[in-house]
Amino acid sequence: RWEPTDKAEVQADREAYFGKNLKLSYSNPAMLVRGWKHHMFDEWGRPYLDAYNNVPHVGHAHPRIQAVAADQLKRMNSNTRYLHPAQVAFAEKIRSKLPDPLNVCFFVNSGTEANELALRLSRAASGAKGMVTPNHGYHGNTTGAIDISAYKFNAKGGVGQADWVELVEVADDYKGSFKRDDPHAAQKYADLVGLSIASLQAKGHGVAGFIAETFPSVGGQIIPPKGYLPAVYDKIRAAGGICIADEVQTGLGRLGDYYFAFEHQGAVPDIVVLGKPIGNGHPLGVVITTREIADKFAEGPEYFSTFGGSTLSCRMGKEVLDIVDDEGLQENSRIRGAELRSGLKTLMAKYDVIGDIRGMGLFIGVELVTDRATKEPATDAASYVINRLREHRILTGREGPHDNILKIRPPLTIDAEDIDMLIGVMDKVMKEVTCLMG
């Protein structure tokens, strides 16, 4: 029997065997050994509503994913140096979801690796090194990806900001410099990019590109005002740079109304980065770019990844995208997301600690504040809420520079009954936190 049942023992061993910066969620960590759709089960078989995990996009333990993995592993698993129909079939499926001229695919093993490759592509195409990126973004855990991830390089003990990276203010129209009531907020946020471009040029780095989580997620589930990205992209392109959309958190139908977040903005990036949900748990990342950029990159050394684009990965990735279509999961995300936001709005009318509710589809943020006028972050309240929800066996998380934004991001299979349950339990927990805050 490989499944360990003694949670305390597993936790003690984990502390002995791994580094201290491998973090666990919740003050009472959960040990989860099974999953089904949007539920997980602990060592006692108790169910948890998974309202947090965006990796099992089409649901935990999906039978079609199990079947395709087993089928391919029975046949063989190899790399891109041989022809295989699964590779082109996966690429064709991805291309069918993207506008022209985004039609050349690179397969890698993670979101991090995809962003590393996106950096190399933008340098090859622009001949420059400088990058502009919104503050508090996250693009991965390798040396290069950390350099463009303010969330990590600016953290306590972080490596600090590289001189070829310029940060711009996040286009947060709730608490940033330009608010929702300002009809020119999008343009004003975009104008800040002009200053960064000038600074990179003055330092002699030139502009390789702009990279952003299309809707900043690590920054707190933020939806930039419509028109922000097209205005930014115009400036970056005028300076010779490449526009990279990190759609790891926002892509593949999660937003309900859109398959990709850049569609909401009315912008077409030069490079799109996909990760996490596209493998439904299998390590997989994809970079899609234009023929022109891919050709510039191809003037350099051969591109090869041992596991990137493996036969197994390609079959699993295509199956995930097919399931999203076959099961109408983008539409489910739209409907369930609307129900969830409407339920949360009734809570907002009752509890002042909720300062803002935002999101699209099943990409939702609930910002907790100690005072609605000053928008002071209610960090302790957010910690209390996610831990109490966990006690009720509902998994959520929190994000943002002050960790005060509740993040709700379930697998796209979530149903109406579980949305009701989530709202009902949140009602109780918000009441508790309101009493505690006095």
Q: Residue numbers of the site for ligand PMP (CB under 6 A)?
A: 110-112, 115, 138-140, 213, 217, 246, 248-249, 275-276
Q: Which is nearer to ligand PMP, 175 or 407 (CB)?
A: 407
Give min distance, CB of 209 to ligand PMP, in A.
Answer: 15
Q: Which is nearer to ligand PMP, 72 or 249 (CB)?
A: 249
Distances (CA, A) of 324 to 45, 55, 252, 313, 351: 28, 13, 8, 17, 36
H helix intervals, 327-437: 329-350, 379-391, 416-437
What is the identity of the amino acid at 385? V
Q: Which is nearer to ligand PMP, 56 or 140 (CB)?
A: 140
Give min distance, CB of 49 to ligand PMP, in A.
Answer: 21
* CB neighbour list of residue 130: distance below 8 Å, 6 or more residues apart: 164, 165, 166, 200, 201, 203, 205, 206, 207, 208, 241
H-helix or E-strand containing 229?
Answer: helix 228-238
Q: Which is nearer to ligand PMP, 69 or 108 (CB)?
A: 108
Q: Which is nearer to ligand PMP, 241 or 277 (CB)?
A: 277
Give min distance, CB of 149 to ligand PMP, in A.
Answer: 8
Distance between CA atoms of 377 and 59, rounded to whole angstroms? Answer: 33
Give min distance, CB of 50 to ligand PMP, in A.
Answer: 16
Report the SS3 class of residue 352.
Answer: coil
Q: Which is nearer to ligand PMP, 235 or 276 (CB)?
A: 276
Give the residue among 383, 408, 414 at the shortest CA–CA distance from 395: 408
**Tokens standing for residue 223:** 């939806």
Distance between CA atoms of 371 and 378, rounded to whole angstroms? Answer: 8
Q: Which is nearer to ligand PMP, 135 or 199 (CB)?
A: 135
Give min distance, CB of 172 to ligand PMP, in A.
Answer: 16
Give min distance, CB of 14 to ligand PMP, in A.
Answer: 19
Instruction: Report yes or no: 400 and 406 within 8 Å, Cβ to Cβ.
Output: no
Give min distance, CB of 115 to ligand PMP, in A.
Answer: 6
In terms of Cβ atoms closer than 10 Å to its own Cβ (0-12, 13-18, 19+), residue 338 is middle
Give min distance, CB of 390 to ligand PMP, in A.
Answer: 20
Q: Which is nearer to ligand PMP, 115 or 289 (CB)?
A: 115
Give the residue among 208, 221, 193, 232 at the shortest CA–CA distance from 144: 208
Q: Which is nearer to ligand PMP, 117 or 353 (CB)?
A: 117
Residue nearest ligand PMP (C-beta atom): 111
Q: Which is nearer to ligand PMP, 217 or 413 (CB)?
A: 217
Distance between CA atoms of 89 and 281, rounded to whole angstroms? Answer: 20
Give min distance, CB of 152 to ligand PMP, in A.
Answer: 11
Give min distance, CB of 269 to ligand PMP, in A.
Answer: 14
In terms of Cβ atoms closer than 10 Å to its own Cβ (0-12, 13-18, 19+), residue 43 is middle
In terms of Cβ atoms closer than 10 Å to its own Cβ (0-12, 13-18, 19+), residue 402 is middle
Q: Which is nearer to ligand PMP, 141 or 161 (CB)?
A: 141
* CB neighbour list of residue 190: distance below 8 Å, 6 or more residues apart: 171, 227, 228, 231, 232, 235
Q: Render the burial of 365-395: b for 16+ CB within 10 Å, e for the rest.
A: bbbbbbeeeeeebbbebbbbbbebbbeebbb
What is the identity of the amino acid at 65? I
In terms of Cβ atoms closer than 10 Å to its own Cβ (0-12, 13-18, 19+), residue 266 is exposed
Distance between CA atoms of 185 and 173, rounded to whole angstroms? Answer: 7
Instruction: Report yes or no: 353 and 102 within 8 Å, Cβ to Cβ.
Output: no
Give min distance, CB of 345 to ligand PMP, in A.
Answer: 27
